[in-house]
Amino acid sequence: MSVFTRITRPQLDQFFSAYTLGEVVSFEGITDGIDNTNYFVTTTQGSFVLTLFESLTADELPHFLKLLAHLGENNLPCPRPQSDRQANSLRQLNGKPAAVFNRLSGTATAIPSILHCQEIGLQLASLHRCTEDYVFPIKNGNDLSWCKTVLSKVGAHLSASDRELIDDELAFQSENTPVNLPRGVIHADLFRDNVLFVDGQLSGLLDFYSACTDTLLLDVAITANDWCCDNGTVNAEKFTALLSAYESLRPLEPLEKQHWPILLRAAALRFWLSRLEHQCYPRPGEITQQKDPLVFRRILLQHRQQTYLSSNVNIFNLRSTA
């Protein structure tokens, strides 16, 4: 986050007394993240993360907590929801739904190497594979119709040429909506700041609160756009590394390979728009983070023009084509 909701030590002591996780020793607000309020909490028994959910409702949250528990059972390094004495993993604190998770070790990497890209490609494929038969009844809230709504909100703040560019991309995406591509549980926001590493080894996948059921390839595109672009410039070698690693566990179908350039554009558009929305309508918070929308404008333009195809390696360097 950002700390949107402040908590006091007496509130925390009382909250933790409902668990068997020891007594609170110290706590501090976490500055990273964008949606929820998070605190690191150290107790006499270990290190935890307390999350106060700022927008997901108490109806929606059990689906996410159940998904995290499922991923943990399948050995994915995700935060595990902790249960209170009554076996509840979701409680209330300061009027907000709240949950406690084990604290994962590691730090996020700001500038991923080829090896980091391979690691994340493998983990994303593992995530998609271990949820193959998992029913997750959450729709993608950031779909094409959401993109149109955001454009109507931010349009007045944009230059005429940017509005035209987004309109044109929206028209292209509407005409090329993927059908019959494999679907399943997608993380939908597997950016560098949601992944932890210890000595080059991936140690944590965080922030599953955008997860939904959608096209698996969209998840690959969202992930690759963040990990494989250096400050908005496509790094073709990194794209190839991530995709090859992903395909070593879940080979893409011919139809997915055809749609790859389209979904890279869809993913870039989605995050350009959400960053514009956060820029135009910042949320109140004690510590807030602004992410640069122009990075995704640059990525989208490169995918539209495929400028990187002139390099020796191209990001469509797939093993076979349809």
Ligand X SMILES: N[C@@H](CCOP(=O)(O)O)C(=O)O
Ligand Y SMILES: Nc1ncnc2c1ncn2[C@@H]1O[C@H](COP(=O)(O)OP(=O)(O)O)[C@@H](O)[C@H]1O
* Residues making contact with ligand Y (CB under 6 A): 1, 30, 32-36, 38, 49, 79, 101, 103-104, 193-194, 204, 206-207, 209
Q: Which does 121 bind (CB under 5 to 8 A by kind): ligand X, ligand Y, none?
A: none
Tell me the closest approach of the beta carbon of residue 187 to ligand Y, in angstroms: 11
Give the pair of three-digit tokens for residue 260. 């790859």
Tell me the closest approach of the beta carbon of residue 232 to ligand X, in angstroms: 12
Decide if residue 189 touches ligand X (CB under 6 A).
Answer: yes
Nearest CA-CA partner of 148 in 131, 181, 130, 171: 171
Decide if residue 219 touches ligand X (CB under 6 A).
Answer: no
Q: Which is nearer to ligand X, 93 or 222 (CB)?
A: 222
Q: Which of residues 249-288 bind ligand X (CB under 6 A)?
A: 271, 274-275
CA distance 273 to 275: 5
Strand partners, 38: 51
Nearest residue to the partner ligand Y, using Cβ: 33
Q: Which is nearer to ligand Y, 145 or 281 (CB)?
A: 281
Q: Which does 191 bind (CB under 5 to 8 A by kind): ligand Y, ligand X, none?
A: ligand X
Rule CB under 6 A: choose which of 7, 12, 21, 34 binds ligand X.
34
Q: Which is nearer to ligand X, 140 or 306 (CB)?
A: 140
Tell me the closest approach of the beta carbon of residue 307 to ligand Y, in angstroms: 31
Tell me the closest approach of the beta carbon of residue 226 to ligand Y, in angstroms: 13
Nearest residue to the partner ligand X, using Cβ: 274
Which residues in this chain contact ligand X in the complex, by CB under 6 A? 34-35, 189, 191, 210, 271, 274-275, 291
